[in-house]
Each structure stands twice: as structure tokens, then as C-alpha cells.
Amino acid sequence: MDVCAGPHTGGKLVDNRREHLMPPAAVETLAETFRILGDPTRVRILDVLSAGELCVCDIAELVGISESAVSHQLRLLRGMRLVRPRRSGRQVYYSFDDQHIMSLFQQGLRHVTEDAR
Amino acid sequence: MDVCAGPHTGGKLVDNRREHLMPPAAVETLAETFRILGDPTRVRILDVLSAGELCVCDIAELVGISESAVSHQLRLLRGMRLVRPRRSGRQVYYSFDDQHIMSLFQQGLRHVTEDAR
DNA sequence: TTGACATATGAACACTTGTTCATATATTCA
DNA sequence: TGAATATATGAACAAGTGTTCATATGTCAA
């Protein structure tokens, strides 16, 4: 337990913010979305997809891992609606689910690249 | 090994994209950034910080975990420059590192909430 | 149908992660 | 200085993660 009798507003500030907390379901979903984005292999997959759709086979070759591993990762990305499949014959082509996701991905990229401050 | 002789452009498409891959360091940093964002506890912390800075003590109370756990998580968030500390006497107040991060966080939030499509 | 190819999935393993507990550091006040 | 408060950190353990291997599903061509 802590008193925390510092210069802040005290209990009133805390009580006030408690009213505006994110719903637990939103917390879980948002965390899950970021978590799925937070893996180097999946970042590489999204990177190669950022120029347009690709079939699993080509993703595997570009990223340099097995098609099985790619499939598992695509399943996770699909689960959070980050990518979308399109079947054409034997191949399944994957692309960003929407422009929304793409800009989220690229905004993150901007953050880490322009971080030469 | 796979032939992948489907209707796609074949080796030329793959070779072309290989030229424009993200640098490995950027991949790692971006994945790490999203990974740090991808935990419910840290999302809750960022949520309570989205209305303005708070000391560790108040964060702990709002999020409902120990101050030690909060400190550990803040360390990770600090490491990726997602939050910034400001000492004032005994307390240390944390806030979003910049507006950039805040909009990234809220764009993610928009994605998961308006996902009633 | 049969054989070949492209993708998906299940199980299992080594590896990583987030919390707790104990302890250390830093600041204020008496 | 010394006691009390606020935050930070190290170690360690249970729980979760990503890959590989084997196998299943789906599609096309003959």
C-alpha cells in the first residue's frame, strides 16, 4: 500500500480517470492486435505485402522461412484482420486487409525510422 | 522446395521486391515497438496516460497492479520511447513520449473499436 | 480418378515473457 | 543524519510463443 501524498491532485484525479477507462474487451483486442504486429517475422511479411498482394510461396521465399511457418503466421495476421486472403487456383494471395491497417503499419515504421533524434 | 508456377509474375516479381525490403534493423525495432505495445497491462497503462501524465503510484492504482509491476512495464515502454518520465520530488510522472506515439496508439484503438463491420 | 502442387493445421519442443518477492536507489522531512 | 515514502531493479517461476515435422485439405492437369 502507498500513500502517495505528493503534489498531484490525489484521489480526485484518480477517481475522475477511473470513469473513462477503456472497456476490458477493447484493451484485450488492442493488445492482441499490437502483439500480432510485434514479431519480426510478421513484420517482414507485412513489409513484403506493403507493395501489393503475394502468394504464400513467394512470401516464404522473400522472408526466407518455410511455407509452413508463413502459413502459421498468416493465420495469426488473418485472425486480427490485418491481412486478407484471395484464392486464385492453387495459390492463395494475401494482402493488407485495408488501407487503415496499412497506415497503422507505416506510421509505426515512420516512428522507428525517423528516430534519429 | 516449391515451384509455385501459378499465375503470378514469377521470379521477376520476387526479385523486384527483394530490392525494397526493410533494413533488418528497422524490422527488429518496429517489431519490438509493436511487441511492447502488445500487452494488456501496458495498453491499460497507456490508456490511463492518454488523458495526461500520472505518477507511478496512481497508475498502479488505476490499472490495479503492484507498483513494482508498473515500474517494470514502464521501463519497457521507456525503452522504446513510448513514454517519458518527469521527476517532481518523490514522484515520477509518466506521459506519452510525443504526439506521434499517441496517434499511433489511438489509431490502433480506432481499428479495434470500429471493427463492428 | 490419380498424381502433383500449394496451402493449412496439429503436436511438440526450446525459448521468451510478465508477474511476484526481496532488495536497492532516490527524495523529502524532521 | 536517519526515518519514511516513491520508484527501480534482480532473480525466479509459471505461462505463453514461434518454429519444425508430419499430416491433412484443396486445386489443377492428365
pLDDT at A47 over 60: yes
Bases of chain C with protein Cβ within 7 A? 5-11, 17-23, 26-28
Q: What is the mean pLDDT of residues A14-27?
A: 93
Cell numbers 495476421: residue: A77
Cβ distance B108 to A34 less than 8 Å, yes or no, reads yes
In chain B, what's the furthest Cα-to-Cα distance?
67
pLDDT by 10s per residue, chain B, length 117: 456 644 445 578 899 999 999 999 999 999 999 999 999 999 999 999 999 999 999 999 999 999 999 999 999 999 999 999 999 999 999 999 999 899 999 999 998 988 555
Report, in angstroms and rounded to the nearest whole number, the Rg of chain B calculated over CA atoms: 20
Across the interface, of B2, B38, B67, the residue whose CB is closest to A34 is: B38
Q: How confident is the model at residue A4 (pLDDT cuts 50, 70, 90)?
A: low
Q: What is the pLDDT of residues A54-113, one digit of tens each?
A: 999 999 999 999 999 999 999 999 999 999 999 999 999 999 999 989 999 999 999 898
Instruction: Return the DSSP state at B85.
Output: E
Residue B88, strand partner residues = B91
- State the sign of the Cα–Cα–Cα–Cα dihedral A71, A76, A77, A80: positive
Cell numbers 470513469: residue: A19
Nearest to B81 by CA among B114, B32, B115: B32
3-state SS assignment for residue A94:
strand
Residue B66 contacts residue B86 (beta carbons within 8 Å): no
| Amino acid at position A112, single letter | V
